[in-house]
Structure 1
Amino acid sequence: MNLELVVAAKKPVADGVVLLDLRPRGCLSLPQWQPGAHIDLVLGNGLVRQYSLCGDPADRSRYLLAVLREPRGRGGSRHVHDRLAAGDMVEVGGPRNHFPLVAAERYLFLAGGIGITPLLPMVAAADARGAAWRLVYGGRTRAAMAFHADLANRFPGRVVVCPQDETGLLDLEAELSTPRPGTVVYCCGPEPMLAAVERACAGWPPGALHVERFAPKPHGGTAEAFEVELAGSGRVLSVPADRTVLQVLEAAGVLVLSSCEEGTCGTCETGVLEGVPDHRDSVLTDAERAEGRSLMVCVSRSRTPRLVLDL
């Protein structure tokens, strides 16, 4: 069930980035969340977008979101920047977390641009736990890098700020060429950076790398027709090559919660009882993909003629 929150404040925190302070009316406490969580922002006219929570999980009086204007986006960030104002009401869904902070001896946090947002509460949590950690934060310019000064002042010696116009691209080879036992890597940023980090961490132990994508991960798979069986009713539906499982389910009157329809938010995750999914999302880990116990019906397909879904 979605909540209706008021925009208590909206302010710029970097070039092209605004910070939203969303609060409930009255003295209500907001649902709990943990570092890495995001919420759905329901903006009207069919716009539903996911934004990482970047405040303090212990503060249940508000949600803080930092939103980058995306000139070539689908309209969500433009709506936030141009139309949403302090005092407005906005509908919020969630929170959900597909990017949780695991326990570890040491952390290496890698942020690119607005990818700093989910890492902010992670850095604070790691520091509160007394863990060893380091943050390497890259962006186009200092002016475009939200929160960099606050981070450097709050955690002296642990934050490396690397504006591209001053230092060039992040030296991922230096950071990741040698696996470090007991260290986990958390990374969020633009797709080229994530792909480079994944390549650089190929020799690290399984599970050492954790990434979150704001845009769909590219895939080269072809689309073939297949069937889905709904375990609860035994009903069988055909999924043609030019339609998604979600579209077929909706057309058949089967209710499945969905949001991004790009495989990045995890809202439509559905259990798989039989068959082998063809995962095309940007949410599940490699281990979860190998298990094949669920799929995102908005983008993923099937490697077998039929999938039996837990619906």
Structure 2
Amino acid sequence: MTDTAAGTLRIGVDVLDSAELRRLLTRPWFLRLSYAPEEIGLADRMGEERRLEFLTGRFAAKEAVVKVLGTGLLRGVAPRDICVDRAAGGAPVVTLRGRAAALGPAAIEVSITHKQNVVAAVALAVVTPAGPPARTIREDGAPMSLADTHQEAEASAFLRVRIGQEDAHYGGGLVDGAHILRLFGDLVTEITARTDQDEGLLAEYSGVRFLAPVRPGDYIEARARLVRATRLRRVVELEAHKVIEASPAQGASAVQVLATPRLVCTATATTVIPMTRARPATATDVPPTAGRNAPQAAARDVPLSSTTAKES
């Protein structure tokens, strides 16, 4: 980073050998996870070797961009949320979507270069000062330490799944809401695994809202972010979006890629960790609870329910 009169200049660099992606690019799931529809559309008009070169360059550019954003791929930012399209003159143009758009500056410039099998990409952006950060406190009222703040910013998780025919539970091919909650449970488990080296024990879901129907053939992106932490409790915000929608009216296997992902469910989860994984106590710590109906369970480290168990 370099300070300028207009703000802070952020630079991201990435180098990639096309051989690293050759096999992955034959797998549809990797293409769906890593590339925006515009990028795939451009690549599909190319010959095999040029397609490999093009998609390798785009992936390197995405890696460079996330370094500018100060995060990492699949740590809150999906690769497909960084679209490296092509301007009329052929220059790469970056468009940020979803979580990437929330993190990113107004404009990011990217340059991509190729030499034989090696691709290099550089991303630059000027980030204007946003003023002093707001005071952040933990749930127990104590000011967050630098370690707490770093953990909260970094602790996020992401997954994408295709809903199968076997997941339909109700008339009209509707998928039950508990299916989405199970995805949320896996994300909460991943976060506690990262932050506490433990799967954690789910105490409760709150504020659960089902906002759109889910049916077989839909692709669902689920995201989680740690927003609050005490000695034993972790509070995680959760969202699920539909990014590809089955279109049976257009054909048995027809689908539609949604230009704007559709929010299907939101929730907040509270999970607890064992006493052996607790953070060091401070004078300001308040004994945490495992939920409104089980105040003593967390202190005794009594299992409530696994975050990977089926919720109803």
Greater RCO (CA < 8 Å, at least 6 residues apart): 2
TM-score normalized with structure 2 length? 0.23
TM-score scaled by length of structure 1: 0.23
